[in-house]
Structure 1
Amino acid sequence: MGSMRWLLGGTVVTFLAGVAVAVRLSNLLPVSQSPTIGAEMPLATSSPDPAAATPPEIWTCEVVVIGGSLGGVAAAAHAMQAGARTCLIELTPWLGGQISSQGVSAIDESLVMRQRQNFSRNWNRFKQLIAAQTVALPSEVTGIATAVVADINGCWVGDLCFPPAAGHAASETLLQSTRQTAPDSRWATSTAFKGAEWNAEGDRLIAINAVRRIPRSPDYIPTGRLSRELHRWYDWESDATFEKIPLRLQPVAGRPFAVIDATDTGELVGWANLPHRLGSESYATTGEPHAVADNPDCTQAFTFPFALAIADDGGRSRNQLAQLQTGYAKAEHRRDFSLNGFNLLSGRSFFHYRRIVSLSGSNPLTGTPGRGDIALVNWNRGNDWNLMNPPLILTAEQILAEGQDRNWLGGLQIDALRAAENRALLFSEWLMQHHSTPTVPLAHLSGPDSPLQTQSGLSMYPYIREGRRILGRAAYGDDEFMLREQDIRFDLRGGRDWRARAIAVTNYAIDIHGCRYRNWEPSGEAASAPINEFVVKPIYIPPEALIPQRVDNLLIGGKSIAVTHIVNAATRTHYGEWSVGGAAGAIAAWYIQQGNADLPLAEASRDEVLVQLQNQLRSQGLRLDW
């Protein structure tokens, strides 16, 4: 009888004559010094009940994209556009990340770029695709069952705001259309990354492992309390809610194999413990004028958005939220709440900021919204969660302590998720309590017909502004390359110019949603770094920002590129993530086209190769110039 090799929880499992033998292939390399994270991983010889596990479903792929985030969708689309057989997995039920499951379906773009209209062709086409989507609406609130996004768009944060389901639908439509040039490509939502397999040298990925979950009930919707569901989403074993199907994504025989980490927290980076940084950095570490301290706890605030409607539900939703039991005292949450001087409704208001359904058609800068209008709430002095007691993202030491190197469960702190959920729900209650009136009633929307389609009304997954950020290889005089604050500001000396080497270009304010501790002890946050986009240069991103250390066939396709904590605040938004993801997908496809499975992806950064690669990126509708 032959053998079958696959991985459970980071452990390679070989089924030989019906006996499961588990051996982990770890990348055993020297321990890096703090604040660089990337220590060696211990050997593991066991995994969750491998003998009882179902053998996996096998997908053969040339490019694997981990994470159907906005960057992941762009990466998969551009890899397929170039003909690469591409496989994508996404944890949540929706594709699109921040424009769908994370509830930030309000395109927030640089004012400078909006004035110049110098976005890429593919980004403009994607926005048009979103605007053309027909979406279901909560008819009890709106009085109509469906609408086209373009007909209900009316916000002032940007030019396009929409129900999150439209972001998922547009992402699905985009992938379906680009699959025509790579017909064997496939993707799956509700699928969790579980680990990977390495070659004998530990410098190349040879398979990605995942687990799909299929709800047993056709009426299932996510709870909107990720703290209660996260580990169940990642568990190998089936339960009363989900049937689980192990999945192994492996190379096409005789072909190169490229992997893109497009998760918003850098899941593969964290699981494999590749050299990376987490949280804020000091001046001694980065040389940035506004850097304060090395603190892995201090990632930017994360948020669970929700939808608020101008509708009369008889006080039902407010009464439900009043029953919420919280760990932190409600008064402690509420003392942070404020509209920051904005009107609730009229003019350039809180409600108009991210209004996703405009039935009234009111001007978002001068008018007043009406009954049936719906706003998405993602507010700094409201549902942002910036407390680091505890921090959200697990460090390498915490991953080891929890055994997630052997059984990956997302790499997040459950207590932090729970506190952020409570903060969001309490902010919704506060808005209804203090701002709802008989003439302008407010209602918190939840359930299957609500915009976020969860039981609680919160987003399926939080909006992640910052996760793990890779340290690049030696380049441009850096032993470990990263884009620094000086590289992106007009008013600072010492910046480097990558116009000739760009594989993406973006722009945005340095917009830090800062961290703090509950007792206000020093956090290390770069509180003086934020600046508007008119002081920020065009941010040219060289290929080295996407290429991690130690692994020769891995790229980053989202927020986890090689940037500092400060620079992440300018590259993390919609267009920056899209541009990086598209570049990663196109570079991966170029790598596959070379036909050499031993070629390192770092070859893409060689001068003579980069010129050809840049031409290919432009031919796919990506923009590399300002």
Structure 2
Amino acid sequence: MAEIRSEILVVGGGLGGVAAALTAARLGRTVVLTEPTNWLGGQLTAQAVPPDEHPWIEGPACPPGYADLRRRVRDYYRRNYPLTTAAAQDPRLDPGLGVVSRMCHEPRVAAAVIEEMLAPWRASGALTVLTGHEPVAAHTEGDRIEAVTLADRRDGRRVTVHASYVADATELGDLLELAGVEHVIGAEGRDETGEPHAPATADPLDQQAVSWCFALEHRPGEDHVVDRPDSYDHWRTTTAPFWPGPQLSLTDVVPITLEERTWTLMGADREAGQHFDLWQFRRILAREQFAPGAFASDLTVVNWPQIDYWEAPLLGVGAEARQQALQASRDLSLSFLHWLQTEAPRPDGGTGYPGLRLRPDATGTADGLAKTPYIRESRRIKAEFTVLEQHVGVEARPQGAGSEIFPDTVGLGSYRIDLHPSTAGRTYIDIDSYPFQIPLGALIPVRMDNLLPANKNIGTTHITNGCYRLHPVEWAIGEAVGALVGFCLDRALPPRKVRSDQAQLADYQRLLSQTLGIRLAWPEAVRTRADER
């Protein structure tokens, strides 16, 4: 078995993992970064989810590395695509003009940009990247992880990485289970946390739906209908108690009010005041941004409520049950696509859009589905400090108070508390939150000394995970973790000592703010304002 030694091991190459690895390398540390797929970037790339961002993302509150990523994405399009003159000159170029973000773009472009960002550190030897590798064992001694063994998904070969610090940036918090790190899954109870929107008692199997996304273009007059999945009739007829009908439909509910609504698939005129259609929702390439004739169709990502898979959880079940749930999620997505192509109602009175065509090149796969499902909820560490709804939720805070001010802040984020329907038969929880800080205490496990979370696995609850799980927040968490490890190695201190010692904490926060340019506090006028998407 091969062995590698490094100062830092980051397991998981999503946005948090990339940010942690990049930040640590910039601080002069040697890093090994691993990723189970062949694309770094997690939800932005392998999961094919255009960025979910807040209104202030173009300003100084944006994590500096994430701002660099966004600038590079825009420059990639300017260098390589036949943009219109107006689009090329727009400092806030949005290739897809999608509704969900101020900059929707193709997953493969983000993957290329991330490779570009990491290139000098890989060339210098400071950063080693192992794609196609997933953790299979964690080797612990007392309250430390001494090494992690990873298996190459392509040939089964194993490599053990020894490191002074380990960051778990996996999508499901895999190392927490492998290393016996104290953690939580599912929903905490209101009797434990006091959160107004928590269930009365804990339910570990109450977990947010996952979604297996895919990319589509539309070629009218052509026939690209996919095979009818074996489970098609199940999804065509089954109705969850909290849903207005089967998921193979254009009818769902408004997440905030839970009122029933029916979508238009395409053709809505936003300039005429019409509500946007599903096609525009997560569109990643808009033909109007490019030279006439350059593209035959827009390109959109289907990450819509109709493909939310809520029938079974992924955590707290055996490996076989997890694989069955993942397969069912894939089947739901393909069933919905087949329904769109064959049965979806059209404005002209007909049914079906056979010209909808999968774009496997956009997702980097053979079948057109994303490389991995969109994971909204992970195992979460039992942390020195847990962020509750009472710290960030508008309803749970005193009127006009804004979010809690954390003395140990290490970064910023903002998003609504947005929980999708769950495997416990619960519908949306979509409520206002204030722009918030990321407290250092939420990054420190109650026991382990050298394991840090760098994804959606920090010390939040099921409820507050709903606003700490989005793209820029995940990056901010990774930046803080990469900087913390560099700081701890420089001073031979454990992370919990940095938090408990006011002088050390102040020095670490100066590293974040002055050296790395990370904002640690919102302007008061923003902190006290409910988030607007």
Q: Are 1:375 and 2:318 counterparts?
A: no
Q: TM-score, normalised by structure 2?
A: 0.83
In structure 2, what residue type is equivalent to 1:468?
Answer: R
Give CA deviations for 1:305-351 in whole Å, capped at 9, x if unaligned. 011111147323x1x33254559454327812325433322232211
Asked whether the 8 Å contact 1:446–1:455 carries over to 2, the reply is: no
SS at match of 1:126: helix
Gap regions ≥5 residues in structure 2: 81-87, 240-244, 252-260, 271-275, 523-533
Give 1:541's aligned amino acid.
Answer: I
Which among 348, 355, 358 is matched to residue 445 of structure 1?
358
1:327 and 1:419 in contact (8 A); partners too: no
Whether 1:249 and 2:249 are equivalent positions in the alignment is no
Instruction: Indicate the residue corresponding to 1:513 in structure 2.
Output: 420
Q: How does 1:577-596 map to 2 (within 5 A)?
A: 577-594=474-491, 596=492
Selected match of 1:456 from 348, 364, 367: 367
The answer to whether the 8 Å contact 2:219/2:357 transfers is: no
Deviates more, 1:616-625 or 1:559-568: 616-625
- Counterpart mapping for 1:93-492 below 5 A: 93-104=38-49, 106-111=50-55, 113-114=56-57, 118-133=61-76, 152-178=95-121, 183-199=125-141, 202-212=142-152, 233=153, 242-251=154-163, 257-292=164-199, 293-312=201-220, 314-316=222-224, 318=225, 320-325=226-231, 328=234, 330-332=236-238, 335-336=246-247, 337-338=249-250, 340-345=261-266, 346=268, 347=270, 348-361=276-289, 371-380=296-305, 382-388=306-312, 391-395=313-317, 398=318, 413-433=322-342, 434=344, 442-447=355-360, 450-473=361-384, 481-492=385-396
Q: Deviations over 1:440-484 (max 9, x none)?
A: 76323154xx211222211111110001111113xxxxxxx3110
Residue number among 516, 519, 526 corresponding to 1:623 in the alignment:
519
Quick one: structure 1 residues 374 and 510, their matched pair in 2 at CA, closer, same or farther if it must change by over 3 Å?
A: same
Q: Choose from 504, 510, 514 the match for 1:609.
A: 504
- 1:489 to partner: Cα distance: 2.1
Match of 1:47?
A: none
**Which one-letter code corresponds to 1:458 in the other structure?**
L
Who is 1:43 aligned against? none
1:44 is aligned to none
Distance 2:180 2:377 in 1: 17
TM-score, scaled relative to structure 1: 0.71
Q: CA deviation at 1:624?
A: 1.2
Contact 1:122 1:621 (C-alpha < 8 Å) held by counterparts: no
**CA contact 1:360–1:371 (8 Å) conserved in 2:** no
- The answer (yes or no) to whether the contact 1:307–1:375 under 8 Å persists in 2 is yes
Residue in structure 2 matched with residue 73 of structure 1 by the alignment? 18
SS in 2 for 1:127: helix
SS at match of 1:103: coil
Letter in 2 for 1:331: T
**Deviation of 1:150 (Å):** 5.3
- Which residue of structure 2 aligns with residue 45 of structure 1? none
For 1:541, what is the secondary structure of its paired residue? strand
Equivalent residue runs for 1:488-507 within 5 Å: 488-493=392-397, 497-507=404-414
- Give the 3-state SS of the residue equivalent to 2:484 in structure 1: helix
* Residues in 2 aligned to 1:176 and 1:584: alpha-carbon distance in whole angstroms: 21
Contact map agreement 1:276 1:468 (CA 8 A) in 2: yes
Alignment-derived partner of residue 40 in structure 1: none
Counterpart CA distance in 2 for 1:268 and 1:516 is 23
Cα 1:486/1:608, change in 2 over 3 Å: same
Cα-to-partner distance string for 1:537-576 (whole Å, 9 max, x where unaligned): 2221211101112211111111000001000001101111
Distance 1:324 1:170 in 2: 38
CA distance in 2, matches of 1:294, 1:136: 51
Return closer, same or farther for 1:621/1:431 CA change in 2, 3 Å cut-off.
farther
Tell me the matched-pair count: 480
Q: Name the SS of the counterpart of 2:452 in structure 1.
A: strand
Secondary structure of 2:284's match?
Answer: strand
SS of residue matched to 1:87? strand
Percent of aligned positions with the same letter in both sequences?
Answer: 29
* Deviation, structure 1 residue 500: 2.8
Shift of 1:438: 11
**Letter of the structure 2 residue corresponding to residue 624 of structure 1:** L
Cα drift, residue 118 of structure 1: 2.8
1:508 & 1:93 partners in 2: Cα distance? 29
Where does structure 1 lack aligned partners over 5 or more consecutive residues? Answer: 1-55, 138-146, 213-232, 234-241, 252-256, 363-369, 403-411, 474-480, 518-522
Deviations 1:244-295 (A, max 9, x none): 32111114xxxxx111001121000022232111111211121112211311
**What is the identity, as a one-letter code, of the residue corresponding to 1:604?**
V
Aligned residue for 1:244, secondary structure, equals coil
Structure 1 letter corresponding to 2:415: Y
